[in-house]
Homo-oligomer: A and B are copies of this chain.
Amino acid sequence: MTVAQLTAEIRRKQTFLCIGLDTDLDKIPAFLKNTEDPLFAFNKAIIDATHDLCVAYKPNTAFYEAYGSMGWMALERTIAYLEESYPNHFTIADAKRGDIGNTSGRYARAFFETMSFDSVTVAPYMGRDSVEPFLEFEDKYVILLALTSNEGAFDFQVLPAPQEALYLQVLRKTREYANADRLMYVVGATKATFLKDVREIVPNQFLLIPGVGAQGGSLEEVCKYGLNNQVGLLVNSSRGIIYASGEEDFAEAARIKAAQLQEQMSAILLNSKI
């Protein structure tokens, strides 16, 4: 799926919501636990209940790896289901990978070929040859960690002056990478005003904003500083949607939470005339 197609979907559906599938056996409704593949059963129900309200799904690999190869199989079934039933959704493997060149190439194969994700999140610490192997795939995208939404972001990403903050250096430097048109960036919503600085360096790239909802970011603030004239934003919510209820109505409850965000997004898009 291309960025142009993603933008068209955002405009058509009036939503730039991404739903994080951080699926956790300890948190899914008890009645699902006796099914043959509870992680997939949960994901399928959430997807079926919310697909018209969002444009992207983002499973975080940690939640699947925690269950070993069984979890990995549930992840494979989830992406296969999305591809088959909802091919117009943008899919993100939130994997935060990155290794030396030949090894990053293996991760790229894992997520883009063995599975058919549209994009993968990548950590920038190892630099150019750890990122470029992911960028070689046509119509596939890398979402690079720039500014994350956790407290630890202040350990290295946001270092005090006089030097420019590391996350801004990451933005600047990675624009030189081969196929940089396939780069998007993670920018944490808990620091919405930083988006102003981000947009000065990457006015046209898509930004994936985690941390709206459970992590406490404000959608209005994010849009104020982050929207560009192609929208250019994917706003993710994981726990706030998928664990809205722990009972049999979990999918309907997820739909209600997703619909609230979609309505807010629709109003913002209308007001800003994008």
Contacts and interface: CB of A to CB of B under 8 A. Distances in A.
Interface of A: 22, 24, 60, 62-63, 65-69, 72-73, 76, 94, 96-101, 103-104, 106-107, 109-110, 114-115, 123-131, 145, 148-157, 159, 162-163, 166, 169-170, 173
State the copy count for this chain.
Answer: 2
A68 B114 contact: yes
Contacts of A131: 152
A99 B96 contact: yes
List the 8 shortest-distance A-B pairs measured between CB atoms, nearest first: A127-B152, A127-B155, A62-B106, A65-B110, A100-B150, A128-B152, A69-B72, A66-B106
A156 B170 contact: yes
Contacts of A153: 126-127
A227 to B, nearest CB: 24
19 contacts: A60-B106, A62-B97, A67-B114, A68-B72, A72-B72, A96-B97, A96-B123, A100-B149, A124-B125, A125-B148, A125-B156, A126-B152, A126-B153, A128-B155, A130-B150, A131-B152, A159-B163, A162-B162, A162-B163
A65 B72 CA distance: 9
Contacts of A156: 124-125, 127, 166, 169-170, 173
Contacts of A100: 148-150, 152
Given A125-B124, A130-B152, A69 B69 contact: yes
A125 to B, nearest CB: 5
Nearest to A131: B152
A207 B126 CA distance: 17
B150 A129 contact: yes
Nearest to A170: B156
A169 B173 CA distance: 20
A76 B69 CA distance: 8
Contact of A107 (B62, B155, B163): B62
Contact of A66 (B24, B110, B173): B110
A66 B166 CA distance: 31
Contacts of A101: 150
Given A126-B148, A129-B151, 15 more contacts: A60-B99, A62-B103, A65-B110, A66-B110, A67-B110, A96-B123, A96-B126, A98-B123, A123-B125, A126-B152, A128-B155, A129-B152, A130-B150, A156-B170, A162-B163
